[in-house]
Amino acid sequence: MGDLDSWHQRYSFQGHALALDENIYEIRREKLKKIEALGQPAYPRKFNFSHTVPQILSEYGGQTAEELESPRVTVRMAGRIMAIRLMGKAGFAHLQQDGQRLQIYVKKDAVGEAGFELWKLLDLGDHIGIRGYLFRTRTGELSIHAEELTFLSKDLLPLPEKWHGLQDVELRYRQRYVDLVMNPEVRAVFLKRSKLVQSLRRYFDGHGFVEVETPMMHPIAGGAVARPFKTHHNTLDMDLFLRIAPELYLKRLTVGGFDRVYEINRNFRNEGISMRHNPEFTMLEAYQAYTDYLGILDTTQGAIERAVEDVTGGTRTKWGEDEIDWSHGNWRRMTMREAIAKFWPEKAGAAPMREDFASHESVRELVMRVRAAAVDVGYDPAEPAGKTIAALFEAVAEEHLVQPTVIYEFPTAVSPLSKQKPDEPDWTERFEMFAGKMEIANGFSELNDPEDQRRRFEGQLRERERGDEEAHQMDEDYIRALSYGMPPAGGVGVGIDRLAMLFTDSHTIRDVILFPQLRPEKTSTAEGTGDTKGK
RNA sequence: GGGCGCGUAGCUCAAUUGGCAGAGCAACUGACUCUUAAUCAGUAGGUUGUAGGUUCGAUUCCUACCGCGCUCACCA
């Protein structure tokens, strides 16, 4: 028990911040000592079980009391005590495992003196193993009649209140383990997220894509428009950036001969945190050689349609007050210019024509008309017209894109890595997918002309000098790679967190990330800069 | 970063115009061999986020700070 003492000392140092309840903690430690005195190890190594809780519920849930009697079914099972009712020389408890619960019945006559002593020392939250036979109580609930109890692990800190559970949003995120124990719907969300990733892997593997892992630490943060996190490598004495996208490395791999390649992993962007943004988020990026943006679009749409079915078993998902229909026939496709015209606010006059997007002056005119209709659009006269058009799209159209929608043909000014349209150099072969008013994917015909790429980087450098911190830097090695010849390819990035939100009707990204980024917990450390609450 | 809101027992929440800080659950003691929000009797648990200010008196009013939520900006 010496270990336990020092463990407790160490953690009680941080006192209030870890929400240690001294009384309950001490009382339960004493109980643990008593349990050891009964001959049960405080932290045993293993427990052999014959069934899990869900297995018993599904195999025997339909059997009557009589069927369970002849012949008797003896099981060994483990779980966490989530409810406990003691009544003198007998009692009931509910054990939880895999998010499901099964009742056990413990009677002094059946478990013996020592077994019943153990039973009386158990608390809510403890893990135990049980051997016993199945039966139905007078009220008909399938239960295990205990013949032997095995202590498995003690819960020294009290679980939240049993009716309301854990509701404090901050505590739910900070102590996700408690959230998962108390709230089965939270568990369900993360099981769905797991299925989503599994489904996407299966789809891309099945379509001949090779999964790879490329660097997360980049000397130059490229492949997206975003501000990076900076870190430093001591031995190399060099600054590195956490990647904002794997794009440029995956494209190097297409140069190297991986014609179909994908990666599912984290990107890091040093920007605001919101309902839809976490500093680290998970992205699937895929590159497919010998096709263009429309080819990779079909691949991506197929993956998402497959994933909806794998995750939800159907093609429709609830999204707040709306229902999103992911079936193939319900996807819309329109160009960015068509979308702006289609959702053009009435008060802004006649919808723009194609030629209205052609010149700086006519685009400026569109902004003024939209602003007159009380729609806020960011506008900087010095920025390229393409940037303004993209801002117009976001202001006018994005909020209407609840059903799955593909927007294609993006301005070249906001698409430094994609191929231009052959007949319209101001526009690129690029698409984005939207659902639930959120961008969920972004793909294009990959620019593979090294000289064009160099000119685009130089254009970005000018944007940088103009004060755009997010504009691309020059990446000489990437241009060198392209100079060895990259096959024509379509590429795409899919926001996994956003898809998980859409598939689970979660309206904040924090509900689909197990440990979302929060400010550090206020805590007095062992160095003791602050309050140790009189200890 | 700006605006709005919230912070009271381990958890979920009360507290009248500024006037003794409370309840349920959890915990502890006792009773109870088919309960399930078990029940019954009793006990304990708080520097009301932190630091100041106004006041005879502050959970309540004011200021700053910390944390969280919503929202706007930026972004995917």
Nearest nucleotide by C1' position to the A16 CA atom: B10
Question: Distance (Å) from CA A181 to C1' B71?
Answer: 31
Nearest nucleotide by C1' position to the A280 CA atom: B76
Nearest one of A476, A484, A444, A442 to A457, comparing CA atoms: A476
Protein residue with the closest CA to the C1' atom of nucleotide B67: A522
* Residue A455 token pair: 């000119």
Nearest nucleotide by C1' position to the A90 CA atom: B33
Helices A476-483 and A247-255 cross at an angle (nearest 10°) of 30
Nearest one of A385, A459, A391, A394 to A427, comparing CA atoms: A385
Nearest one of A525, A506, A524, A526 to A516, comparing CA atoms: A506
Give the pLDDT score at A202: 98
Question: Distance (Å) from CA A531 to C1' B58?
Answer: 24
CA–CA distance, A97 with A81 (Å, rounded to integer)? 9
CA–CA distance, A72 with A136 (Å, rounded to integer)? 12
Q: Where are the domains of chain A?
A: 2-163, 184-343+397-511, 345-384
Question: Distance (Å) from CA A249 to C1' B3?
Answer: 42
Phi, psi at A509, each rounded to 5°: -65, -25
CA–CA distance, A355 with A346 (Å, rounded to integer)? 20
Phi, psi at A369, each rounded to 5°: -70, -40
Nearest nucleotide by C1' position to the A434 CA atom: B76
Protein residue with the closest CA to the C1' atom of nucleotide B75: A271
Is the bond preceding A71 in cis, omega lying within 30 degrees of 0?
Answer: yes
Protein residue with the closest CA to the C1' atom of nucleotide B7: A168
Element (H, E) at A443: strand A438-445
Find tokens 């001949």 and name the residue. A208
Q: HSE, CB side, 13 Å, CA atoms: give it for residue A248.
A: 30
Helices A496-504 and A184-206 cross at an angle (nearest 10°) of 130
Question: Distance (Å) from CA A186 to C1' B11?
Answer: 18
Note the strand B nucleotides within 7 A of protein beta carbons: 1, 10-13, 24-28, 31-38, 44-45, 47, 66-76
Protein residue with the closest CA to the C1' atom of nucleotide B47: A533
Fold of the CATH domain A2-163: OB fold (Dihydrolipoamide Acetyltransferase, E2P) (2.40.50)
Question: Distance (Å) from CA A365 to C1' B52?
Answer: 55
Question: Distance (Å) from CA A170 to C1' B4?
Answer: 19
Question: Distance (Å) from CA A381 to C1' B37?
Answer: 65
Its sign, for the CA torsion A352, A356, A361, A363, is positive
Phi, psi at A438, each rounded to 5°: -120, 145
Fold of the CATH domain A184-343+397-511: BirA Bifunctional Protein; domain 2 (3.30.930)
Q: Give the bridge partners for A318, in sequence order.
A: A323
Question: Distance (Å) from CA A85 to C1' B41?
Answer: 17
Sequential pLDDT tens for chain A (535 residues): 333 333 333 333 233 323 345 578 888 999 999 999 999 999 999 999 999 999 999 999 999 999 999 899 999 999 999 999 999 999 999 999 999 999 999 999 999 999 999 999 999 999 999 999 999 999 999 999 999 999 999 998 888 878 788 888 888 888 889 889 988 889 999 999 999 999 999 999 999 999 999 999 999 888 888 888 888 999 999 999 999 999 999 999 999 999 999 999 999 988 878 888 888 899 999 999 999 999 999 999 999 999 999 999 999 999 988 899 999 999 999 999 999 999 998 888 899 999 999 998 999 999 988 888 877 787 888 888 898 999 899 888 988 999 999 999 999 988 888 999 999 999 999 999 999 999 999 999 999 999 999 998 888 888 888 777 777 888 999 999 999 999 999 999 999 999 999 999 998 999 999 988 877 665 433 222 233 222 2
Find tokens 């393409």 and name the residue. A386
Give the pLDDT score at A471: 79
Nearest nucleotide by C1' position to the A137 CA atom: B34
Nearest nucleotide by C1' position to the A438 CA atom: B76
Give the pLDDT score at A534: 26
Nearest nucleotide by C1' position to the A89 CA atom: B33
Question: Distance (Å) from CA A167 to C1' B67?
Answer: 16
CA–CA distance, A28 with A34 (Å, rounded to integer)? 10
Q: A189: which residues sit within 8 A by CB, 6+ positions away?
A: A500, A504, A506, A511, A512
The region that residue A165 occupies, defined by phi over 0 for left and psi between -120 and 50 for alpha, beta otherwise, is left
Three-state SS letters, A35-64 = HHHCCCCCCCCCCCCCCCHHHHHHHHCCCC
Give the pLDDT score at A287: 97
Q: For the complex shown, is ipTM > 0.90?
A: no
Question: Distance (Å) from CA A187 to C1' B17?
Answer: 47
Nearest nucleotide by C1' position to the A498 CA atom: B76
Question: Distance (Å) from CA A24 to C1' B53?
Answer: 38
